[in-house]
Amino acid sequence: MTVLVVAEHDRGALAPATLEACAFARSLGEPVHAITIGAAADGLVATLAEYGVSVVVQAHHDLLADYGPEAWGETVAQLVRQYQPTAVLATGTDRGNEVMAQVAARLGLPMVANVTAVTPGEPWTITRVRWGGSLLEECTLAAGTKLLTIAHHSLEASPAPVDATTEAMAPDLGAELARTMVVERVERAAGVTLATAALVVGGGRGVGSAEGFTPLEELASALGGVVGCSRAVTNNGWRNHTDQVGQTGTRIAPDLYIACGISGAIQHWVGAMASKTILAINTDKDANMVTKADVAVIGDLHQVVPAITAEVRRRRGA
Protein backbone atom coordinates (compact mmCIF):
# COMPACT_ATOMS: atom_id res chain seq x y z
CA MET A 1 0.00 0.00 0.00
CA THR A 2 1.06 3.56 -0.54
CA VAL A 3 0.33 7.05 0.63
CA LEU A 4 -0.37 9.45 -2.23
CA VAL A 5 0.47 13.15 -2.01
CA VAL A 6 -1.26 15.66 -4.27
CA ALA A 7 1.48 18.14 -5.24
CA GLU A 8 0.08 21.66 -5.18
CA HIS A 9 1.71 23.98 -7.66
CA ASP A 10 0.92 27.04 -9.70
CA ARG A 11 2.13 26.70 -13.28
CA GLY A 12 5.02 24.56 -12.06
CA ALA A 13 5.92 26.57 -8.94
CA LEU A 14 5.56 24.14 -6.03
CA ALA A 15 3.59 25.31 -2.99
CA PRO A 16 5.91 24.87 0.04
CA ALA A 17 3.02 23.24 1.93
CA THR A 18 3.39 20.26 -0.44
CA LEU A 19 6.73 19.41 1.18
CA GLU A 20 5.05 19.41 4.58
CA ALA A 21 2.45 16.98 3.19
CA CYS A 22 5.33 14.77 1.94
CA ALA A 23 6.95 14.79 5.40
CA PHE A 24 3.59 13.96 6.98
CA ALA A 25 3.06 11.14 4.48
CA ARG A 26 6.45 9.65 5.35
CA SER A 27 5.48 9.54 9.01
CA LEU A 28 2.67 7.11 8.12
CA GLY A 29 5.30 4.45 7.38
CA GLU A 30 4.32 3.46 3.84
CA PRO A 31 5.95 4.28 0.48
CA VAL A 32 5.12 7.82 -0.57
CA HIS A 33 3.96 8.47 -4.11
CA ALA A 34 2.86 11.83 -5.50
CA ILE A 35 0.73 13.09 -8.35
CA THR A 36 1.68 16.21 -10.27
CA ILE A 37 -1.09 17.66 -12.40
CA GLY A 38 -0.36 19.27 -15.74
CA ALA A 39 2.78 19.27 -17.88
CA ALA A 40 3.94 22.49 -16.18
CA ALA A 41 4.69 20.40 -13.07
CA ASP A 42 6.92 17.83 -14.80
CA GLY A 43 10.02 19.56 -13.45
CA LEU A 44 9.07 18.86 -9.83
CA VAL A 45 10.31 15.25 -9.70
CA ALA A 46 13.74 16.01 -8.20
CA THR A 47 12.27 18.21 -5.46
CA LEU A 48 9.65 15.64 -4.54
CA ALA A 49 12.31 12.88 -4.48
CA GLU A 50 14.36 15.05 -2.12
CA TYR A 51 11.40 14.89 0.27
CA GLY A 52 10.89 11.14 0.12
CA VAL A 53 8.60 10.60 -2.88
CA SER A 54 9.62 7.40 -4.69
CA VAL A 55 7.08 7.48 -7.55
CA VAL A 56 5.75 10.60 -9.24
CA VAL A 57 2.64 10.14 -11.38
CA GLN A 58 2.57 12.89 -14.01
CA ALA A 59 -0.97 13.58 -15.22
CA HIS A 60 -1.25 15.26 -18.62
CA HIS A 61 -4.34 16.57 -20.39
CA ASP A 62 -5.29 19.74 -22.27
CA LEU A 63 -7.70 20.66 -19.46
CA LEU A 64 -4.82 20.57 -16.96
CA ALA A 65 -2.91 23.44 -18.54
CA ASP A 66 -3.84 25.62 -15.56
CA TYR A 67 -5.54 25.17 -12.19
CA GLY A 68 -9.16 24.05 -12.15
CA PRO A 69 -10.58 22.33 -9.04
CA GLU A 70 -13.00 20.07 -10.90
CA ALA A 71 -10.44 18.82 -13.44
CA TRP A 72 -7.79 18.38 -10.73
CA GLY A 73 -10.28 16.63 -8.42
CA GLU A 74 -11.45 14.24 -11.14
CA THR A 75 -7.83 13.45 -12.10
CA VAL A 76 -6.93 12.54 -8.51
CA ALA A 77 -10.18 10.56 -8.12
CA GLN A 78 -9.31 8.47 -11.20
CA LEU A 79 -5.86 7.72 -9.82
CA VAL A 80 -7.28 6.75 -6.42
CA ARG A 81 -9.69 4.28 -8.09
CA GLN A 82 -6.73 2.75 -9.91
CA TYR A 83 -4.18 2.87 -7.04
CA GLN A 84 -6.38 2.23 -3.98
CA PRO A 85 -3.84 4.00 -1.72
CA THR A 86 -4.10 3.83 2.06
CA ALA A 87 -4.40 7.60 2.19
CA VAL A 88 -4.32 10.68 -0.01
CA LEU A 89 -2.73 13.79 1.48
CA ALA A 90 -3.04 17.28 0.08
CA THR A 91 -2.05 20.70 1.34
CA GLY A 92 -4.27 22.40 3.92
CA THR A 93 -4.47 25.48 1.73
CA ASP A 94 -7.38 26.96 -0.21
CA ARG A 95 -6.43 24.93 -3.26
CA GLY A 96 -5.58 21.73 -1.40
CA ASN A 97 -8.86 21.76 0.51
CA GLU A 98 -10.80 22.62 -2.65
CA VAL A 99 -9.27 19.78 -4.67
CA MET A 100 -9.72 17.22 -1.90
CA ALA A 101 -13.35 18.22 -1.44
CA GLN A 102 -13.78 17.48 -5.15
CA VAL A 103 -11.99 14.14 -4.76
CA ALA A 104 -14.12 13.17 -1.75
CA ALA A 105 -17.37 14.07 -3.49
CA ARG A 106 -16.42 12.14 -6.63
CA LEU A 107 -15.38 9.03 -4.68
CA GLY A 108 -18.16 9.24 -2.08
CA LEU A 109 -15.53 9.16 0.68
CA PRO A 110 -15.19 11.22 3.87
CA MET A 111 -12.41 13.80 4.03
CA VAL A 112 -10.72 15.45 7.02
CA ALA A 113 -9.27 18.93 6.48
CA ASN A 114 -6.39 20.72 8.22
CA VAL A 115 -4.95 17.72 10.04
CA THR A 116 -2.08 18.11 12.51
CA ALA A 117 -1.69 14.51 13.77
CA VAL A 118 -2.80 10.98 12.92
CA THR A 119 -2.82 7.81 15.00
CA PRO A 120 -3.40 4.95 12.55
CA GLY A 121 -5.62 2.08 13.70
CA GLU A 122 -9.14 1.14 12.83
CA PRO A 123 -10.50 3.76 12.66
CA TRP A 124 -7.76 6.41 12.46
CA THR A 125 -7.76 8.98 15.26
CA ILE A 126 -7.07 12.40 13.86
CA THR A 127 -6.37 15.83 15.34
CA ARG A 128 -7.38 18.75 13.16
CA VAL A 129 -7.32 22.51 13.42
CA ARG A 130 -10.62 24.37 13.65
CA TRP A 131 -11.63 27.99 14.01
CA GLY A 132 -8.57 29.42 12.37
CA GLY A 133 -6.18 27.71 14.78
CA SER A 134 -7.93 28.54 18.05
CA LEU A 135 -9.29 25.01 18.55
CA LEU A 136 -7.80 21.54 18.11
CA GLU A 137 -10.45 18.91 17.49
CA GLU A 138 -10.07 15.13 17.73
CA CYS A 139 -12.06 12.95 15.36
CA THR A 140 -12.05 9.44 13.95
CA LEU A 141 -11.96 8.45 10.29
CA ALA A 142 -13.06 5.08 8.96
CA ALA A 143 -12.71 4.67 5.19
CA GLY A 144 -10.96 2.41 2.69
CA THR A 145 -8.84 5.29 1.44
CA LYS A 146 -8.38 8.13 3.92
CA LEU A 147 -8.54 11.61 2.42
CA LEU A 148 -6.74 14.31 4.42
CA THR A 149 -5.35 17.78 4.03
CA ILE A 150 -2.43 18.71 6.25
CA ALA A 151 -2.59 21.95 8.24
CA HIS A 152 0.02 24.37 6.92
CA HIS A 153 2.97 24.82 9.34
CA SER A 154 1.90 21.87 11.50
CA LEU A 155 5.25 20.17 10.95
CA GLU A 156 8.73 20.80 9.57
CA ALA A 157 9.22 19.90 5.89
CA SER A 158 12.48 18.01 6.48
CA PRO A 159 14.16 16.37 3.46
CA ALA A 160 14.61 12.57 3.18
CA PRO A 161 16.09 11.94 -0.28
CA VAL A 162 15.16 8.84 -2.30
CA ASP A 163 15.46 7.87 -5.98
CA ALA A 164 12.21 8.59 -7.78
CA THR A 165 10.69 7.09 -10.89
CA THR A 166 7.92 8.63 -12.96
CA GLU A 167 4.71 7.22 -14.40
CA ALA A 168 2.57 8.90 -17.03
CA MET A 169 -1.16 9.26 -16.55
CA ALA A 170 -3.70 10.37 -19.14
CA PRO A 171 -6.92 11.04 -17.23
CA ASP A 172 -10.24 10.88 -19.03
CA LEU A 173 -11.61 14.41 -18.62
CA GLY A 174 -14.71 15.89 -20.27
CA ALA A 175 -15.26 19.54 -21.16
CA GLU A 176 -17.83 19.83 -18.33
CA LEU A 177 -14.88 19.77 -15.89
CA ALA A 178 -13.65 23.10 -17.23
CA ARG A 179 -16.43 25.16 -15.60
CA THR A 180 -13.96 26.60 -13.07
CA MET A 181 -10.50 27.25 -14.43
CA VAL A 182 -7.88 29.91 -13.84
CA VAL A 183 -7.83 32.00 -17.00
CA GLU A 184 -6.03 35.15 -15.86
CA ARG A 185 -3.89 36.40 -12.97
CA VAL A 186 -4.04 40.03 -11.93
CA GLU A 187 -1.39 41.32 -9.55
CA ARG A 188 -3.38 43.24 -6.94
CA ALA A 189 -0.65 45.34 -5.47
CA ALA A 190 3.06 45.55 -5.79
CA GLY A 191 5.24 45.78 -2.71
CA VAL A 192 4.17 45.08 0.85
CA THR A 193 1.00 43.07 1.40
CA LEU A 194 -1.13 42.74 4.50
CA ALA A 195 0.05 39.16 5.00
CA THR A 196 3.74 40.07 4.90
CA ALA A 197 3.82 43.62 6.28
CA ALA A 198 6.10 44.26 9.25
CA LEU A 199 3.68 46.87 10.56
CA VAL A 200 -0.11 46.90 10.30
CA VAL A 201 -2.44 49.67 11.46
CA GLY A 202 -5.86 48.06 11.87
CA GLY A 203 -9.13 49.94 12.14
CA GLY A 204 -12.44 48.69 13.49
CA ARG A 205 -15.97 49.94 13.93
CA GLY A 206 -14.61 52.59 16.27
CA VAL A 207 -13.10 54.38 13.26
CA GLY A 208 -16.65 55.34 12.36
CA SER A 209 -16.53 55.78 8.57
CA ALA A 210 -14.54 55.21 5.39
CA GLU A 211 -13.15 58.74 5.68
CA GLY A 212 -12.12 58.00 9.26
CA PHE A 213 -9.38 55.75 7.88
CA THR A 214 -7.38 58.70 6.50
CA PRO A 215 -5.50 59.25 9.80
CA LEU A 216 -4.78 55.50 9.96
CA GLU A 217 -3.39 55.63 6.40
CA GLU A 218 -1.21 58.55 7.46
CA LEU A 219 0.12 56.66 10.50
CA ALA A 220 0.79 53.54 8.41
CA SER A 221 2.56 55.65 5.81
CA ALA A 222 4.68 57.41 8.45
CA LEU A 223 5.78 54.04 9.86
CA GLY A 224 6.15 52.21 6.52
CA GLY A 225 3.22 49.88 7.17
CA VAL A 226 -0.15 49.01 5.67
CA VAL A 227 -3.75 49.40 6.81
CA GLY A 228 -5.96 46.48 7.79
CA CYS A 229 -9.44 46.36 9.27
CA SER A 230 -12.07 44.27 11.03
CA ARG A 231 -15.08 42.66 9.46
CA ALA A 232 -17.37 45.30 10.96
CA VAL A 233 -15.55 47.69 8.65
CA THR A 234 -15.89 45.59 5.51
CA ASN A 235 -19.52 44.84 6.36
CA ASN A 236 -20.14 48.59 6.48
CA GLY A 237 -18.48 48.99 3.10
CA TRP A 238 -15.82 51.31 4.52
CA ARG A 239 -12.98 49.19 3.12
CA ASN A 240 -12.46 46.34 0.71
CA HIS A 241 -12.51 42.76 1.98
CA THR A 242 -8.88 42.43 0.88
CA ASP A 243 -7.99 44.59 3.91
CA GLN A 244 -9.83 42.38 6.41
CA VAL A 245 -7.80 40.71 9.13
CA GLY A 246 -9.16 37.53 10.68
CA GLN A 247 -10.63 34.12 10.26
CA THR A 248 -12.41 35.06 7.05
CA GLY A 249 -9.76 37.57 6.05
CA THR A 250 -5.97 37.65 6.05
CA ARG A 251 -3.74 36.20 8.79
CA ILE A 252 -1.14 38.78 9.68
CA ALA A 253 2.16 38.37 11.54
CA PRO A 254 3.74 41.83 11.73
CA ASP A 255 6.34 43.00 14.22
CA LEU A 256 3.76 45.55 15.40
CA TYR A 257 -0.03 45.56 15.05
CA ILE A 258 -1.72 48.80 16.04
CA ALA A 259 -5.39 47.88 16.56
CA CYS A 260 -7.55 51.01 16.62
CA GLY A 261 -11.19 50.79 17.72
CA ILE A 262 -11.24 47.00 17.38
CA SER A 263 -12.88 44.98 20.16
CA GLY A 264 -10.83 41.82 19.48
CA ALA A 265 -13.57 39.28 18.76
CA ILE A 266 -12.22 35.73 18.42
CA GLN A 267 -12.69 35.76 14.64
CA HIS A 268 -10.50 38.86 14.41
CA TRP A 269 -8.03 37.66 17.03
CA VAL A 270 -7.17 34.41 15.21
CA GLY A 271 -5.98 36.51 12.28
CA ALA A 272 -3.96 38.87 14.46
CA MET A 273 -2.58 36.65 17.22
CA ALA A 274 0.68 35.91 15.38
CA SER A 275 1.64 39.60 15.67
CA LYS A 276 4.83 39.95 17.69
CA THR A 277 3.68 43.07 19.53
CA ILE A 278 0.18 44.52 19.73
CA LEU A 279 -0.73 48.10 20.62
CA ALA A 280 -4.45 48.54 21.20
CA ILE A 281 -6.11 51.94 21.05
CA ASN A 282 -9.61 51.75 22.48
CA THR A 283 -11.99 53.69 24.67
CA ASP A 284 -12.95 50.49 26.51
CA LYS A 285 -10.29 49.30 28.95
CA ASP A 286 -12.01 45.89 29.16
CA ALA A 287 -12.13 45.22 25.41
CA ASN A 288 -10.65 41.85 24.50
CA MET A 289 -8.05 43.46 22.26
CA VAL A 290 -6.94 45.70 25.14
CA THR A 291 -6.59 42.87 27.63
CA LYS A 292 -4.63 40.77 25.14
CA ALA A 293 -2.42 43.58 23.85
CA ASP A 294 1.17 44.14 24.96
CA VAL A 295 0.51 47.87 25.25
CA ALA A 296 -2.76 49.79 25.28
CA VAL A 297 -3.82 53.40 25.07
CA ILE A 298 -7.25 53.95 26.57
CA GLY A 299 -8.65 56.86 24.63
CA ASP A 300 -10.40 58.13 21.54
CA LEU A 301 -8.55 56.90 18.44
CA HIS A 302 -9.51 60.07 16.60
CA GLN A 303 -7.21 61.94 18.98
CA VAL A 304 -4.60 59.27 19.73
CA VAL A 305 -3.79 58.22 16.13
CA PRO A 306 -3.05 61.73 14.76
CA ALA A 307 -1.02 62.44 17.91
CA ILE A 308 1.18 59.38 17.30
CA THR A 309 1.62 60.32 13.64
CA ALA A 310 2.60 63.86 14.57
CA GLU A 311 5.14 62.57 17.09
CA VAL A 312 6.63 60.08 14.59
CA ARG A 313 6.97 62.87 12.02
CA ARG A 314 8.44 65.25 14.59
CA ARG A 315 11.07 62.71 15.65
CA ARG A 316 11.95 62.00 12.05
CA GLY A 317 12.09 65.69 11.27
CA ALA A 318 9.46 65.31 8.54
Ligand X SMILES: Cc1cc2nc3c(=O)[nH]c(=O)nc-3n(C[C@H](O)[C@H](O)[C@H](O)COP(=O)(O)OP(=O)(O)OC[C@H]3O[C@@H](n4cnc5c(N)ncnc54)[C@H](O)[C@@H]3O)c2cc1C
Site residues for ligand X per CB under 6 A = 204-206, 230-232, 244-249, 261-263, 265, 267-268, 271, 281-284, 287, 300-302
Which one, 56 or 297, has the nearer CB to ligand X?
A: 297
31 secondary structure, DSSP code = -
Q: Cβ(265)–Cβ(290) under 8 Å?
A: no
Q: Which of these, 52, 97, 61, lies nearest to 79 by C-alpha position?
A: 61
Which one, 58 or 282, has the nearer CB to ligand X?
A: 282
- Beta carbon of residue 104, minimum distance to ligand X (angstroms, whole number): 23
- Beta carbon of residue 102, minimum distance to ligand X (angstroms, whole number): 23
Neighbouring C-beta atoms of residue 316, cutoff 10 Å: 9
| Distance between first and last Cα of the chain | 67
Widest pairwise Cα distance in the chain? 69
The DSSP H or E segment spanning 34 is strand 32-37
296 secondary structure, DSSP code = E
As a whole number of angstroms, the distance between CA 90 and CA 36 comes to 11
- Beta carbon of residue 301, minimum distance to ligand X (angstroms, whole number): 4
Which one, 52 or 249, has the nearer CB to ligand X?
A: 249
Neighbouring C-beta atoms of residue 254, cutoff 10 Å: 25
- Beta carbon of residue 209, minimum distance to ligand X (angstroms, whole number): 11
- Beta carbon of residue 302, minimum distance to ligand X (angstroms, whole number): 6
Q: Cβ(305)–Cβ(202) under 8 Å?
A: no
Neighbouring C-beta atoms of residue 265, cutoff 10 Å: 17
Q: Which residue's beta carbon is nearest to the bound ligand X?
A: 246
Which one, 23 or 220, has the nearer CB to ligand X?
A: 220
- Beta carbon of residue 205, minimum distance to ligand X (angstroms, whole number): 4
- Beta carbon of residue 264, minimum distance to ligand X (angstroms, whole number): 7
Which one, 37 or 289, has the nearer CB to ligand X?
A: 289
Which one, 153 or 302, has the nearer CB to ligand X?
A: 302
Which one, 11 or 285, has the nearer CB to ligand X?
A: 285
The DSSP H or E segment spanning 258 is strand 256-260
Q: Which of these, 302, 133, 318, 108, lies nearest to 206 by C-alpha position?
A: 302
As a whole number of angstroms, the distance between CA 261 and CA 229 comes to 10
